[in-house]
Every structure is written in C-alpha cells, then in structure tokens.
C-alpha cells in the first residue's frame, strides 16, 4: 500500500472512530461553476438580510485561499435525526436544534480529527469548518461521492436521506479521491416544492432564502416579521423541516447515536403555555448550549407572537 492509500485509509478510519456517519474526499480545486451560481443567487437578493453571505466570495470558491497548498477536501456527515418528537400541539422546532449546538459538537471532533492525523501521518496543515466559514460544503459533499443536492437545496444520501450536519476539512495532505456523485435521484418528484408554504423552493434547485421560514424565524433580526407571511408558518417557531419531512428519501432516516445531540427535555416536552411563560433568565439557562440561542430570547418571543396572531383572510 502506497502513502496515498495508507493516508486515505487512516483518514476514513479516524472519521468513523469519531462518530461521523460518512466520509468522502475530493481534490481541492476552484469551484468556477458554483461561483457563477452563487453570484447569480446574490445578485437577485435571495440572501435577504443575510449580508454575511456576500462576504469572502473568493474564499468560498477556492479552498487554496483558506488553506495555502490545499490538495484535498474531506467531507464528513453526522446524522442528527432524533429518536423522539415534540408534543404535537407545541410550537415546532427544527430537528437539528433538538440537542446541543452542533457547531460546538463538531468543532471538537474536527480538532481531534486533525490531531489524530498529525500523530499518525506527521506534520500536515489543515482547517476544519462547520457552517461557520465561507465553504460550499454541499458541493464538496457531492464531489466527494456522498450524495446529490436535492430540489430543496439539501444534500441527500441514498442510504439515509438528508438529516445530516456537514463538516469540511481542507488539508495539504494528498489523498485518494472518491468519484463524484453523478446521478440525481430526485427524478420528477416535486414534493418539497409543493409542500413549501412560502414558495421558497424554486426550479433548478434554487432556494429563495429570503422567503424561507427558517430565514424568518432564525436569521431575520428585525423585530417584525412581514405581515404577508401570516398564516404560512405552519406553527414553526424555530427553523423549518417541511421540505425534509416530505422527502421520500428520508423514510430511510435512522435515529442518531451521537449522545451530544440527544434532545433537550424542554424542547420535547414544553407546551405552548410553557414557551409563552418562559422568562429570559430561564431561557438563557435552559438553552445556553442550544442552537435556539441564535434567535435569542427576543427572537423566540417575536416568533411566538407572530404564530399566535390571527392569520389574514386569504386574498380573493
């Protein structure tokens, strides 16, 4: 076995030993096609008020600007599908936010990952990213052979659907590369498009971020949600899973075995009254390690108020 094969084997064994469910590797290269798509998406305002999406454009499309001398992009998937669901009448929380903040969980794993590789292989340079840096992680996952990008913009695996966090490790280590995932198994299915209550999912795998329920309930910082969205949130208080819940490939989803992602008791068991009567002090204590802190107490209260408002009558 040559060095590349040996090192590739070490990378994949280490990934699985740290609890990642999938690991794929692609050659580090500039993403010119993605650059054009991203430029078009931004130029039509589909990022809404998410101005950070406009930053570091060159870094997003060229891994060598993030890690000088980069040769390989390692993509890792971590399943977050929960084993339990919320109370049926409670304001809905996206499944990814049931447990501890995934940024913290995965960031620790990536540091372990890099340390182990250095111990076993030698001095290498690399950086790990998890949804907090300008990396086009879904493209790299597709190039690494892990799955395809569905009509709802999510990476879908043939084996287990789409309820995965994606982490990326860019390194100057030369490895064997997996074949890109070449087929789109969405076919003629349009269930995600048809089910989206705000019409955020457009043709050609374009998602209008400025119309997504997740955008309004998490990313929007203004204290007023546009009134024309009333009656369209389907009781989602934080995030939205509609396009994933209706996806036929998610019938293969299995409950995560990652202890750190176990659902917080209150997320599963709080009633509407519990959420509405929650004090800021209690919110900060209960959800200090939760993704819900991204919306802050004021954002959660805003979302609850919006959900409780009488929806406007439909336009004749």
Packing angle of the helix pair 102-121, 3-17 (nearest 10 deg): 150
Task: Classify 164 as helix, strand or coil.
Answer: strand
Report the C-alpha gap between 81 and 278 in whole angstroms: 26
Report the C-alpha gap between 102 and 235 in whole angstroms: 24
Report the C-alpha gap between 4 and 183 in whole angstroms: 27
**Among 6, 89, 131, 241, the one annotated catalytic:** 131
Annotation marks residue 245 as catalytic:
no
Task: Classify 184 as helix, strand or coil.
Answer: coil
Q: DSSP letter for 72, please.
A: E
Residue 256 backbone zone (phi > 0: left; psi -120 to 50: alpha; other: beta): beta
Q: Which of 132, 116, 152, 93 is nearest to 11 (CA)?
A: 116
Write out the catalytic residue numbers.
Answer: 131
């Amino acid at each position: 076995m040559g060095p590349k094969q040996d090192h590739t084997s070490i990378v994949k064994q280490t990934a699985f030993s740290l609890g990642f469910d999938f690991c794929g590797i692609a050659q580090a290269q500039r993403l010119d096609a993605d650059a054009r798509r991203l430029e078009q998406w931004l130029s039509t305002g589909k990022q809404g008020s998410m101005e950070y999406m406009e930053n570091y454009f060159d870094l997003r499309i060229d891994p060598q600007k993030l890690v000088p001398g980069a040769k390989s992009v390692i993509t890792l998937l971590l399943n977050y599908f929960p084993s339990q669901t919320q109370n049926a009448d409670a304001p809905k929380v996206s499944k990814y936010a049931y447990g501890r903040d995934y940024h913290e969980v995965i960031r620790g794993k990536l540091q372990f990952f890099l340390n182990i590789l250095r111990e076993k292989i030698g001095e290498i340079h690399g950086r790990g990213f998890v949804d907090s840096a300008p990396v086009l992680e879904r493209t790299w996952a597709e190039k690494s052979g892990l799955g395809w990008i569905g009509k709802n913009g999510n990476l879908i695996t043939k084996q287990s659907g789409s309820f995965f966090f994606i982490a990326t490790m860019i390194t100057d280590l030369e490895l064997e590369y997996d074949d890109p995932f070449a087929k789109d198994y969405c076919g003629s299915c349009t269930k995600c498009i048809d089910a989206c209550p705000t019409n955020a999912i457009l043709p050609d795998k374009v998602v209008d971020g400025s119309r997504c329920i997740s955008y309004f309930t998490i990313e929007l910082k203004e204290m007023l949600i546009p009134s024309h969205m009333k009656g369209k949130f389907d009781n989602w208080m934080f995030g939205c899973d509609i396009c994933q819940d209706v996806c036929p490939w998610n019938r293969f989803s299995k409950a995560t075995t990652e202890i750190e992602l176990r659902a917080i008791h209150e997320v599963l068991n709080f009633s509407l009254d519990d959420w509405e009567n929650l004090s800021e002090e209690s919110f900060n204590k209960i959800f200090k390690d939760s993704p819900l802190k991204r919306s802050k107490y004021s954002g959660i209260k805003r979302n609850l108020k919006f959900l409780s408002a009488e929806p406007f009558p439909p336009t004749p």
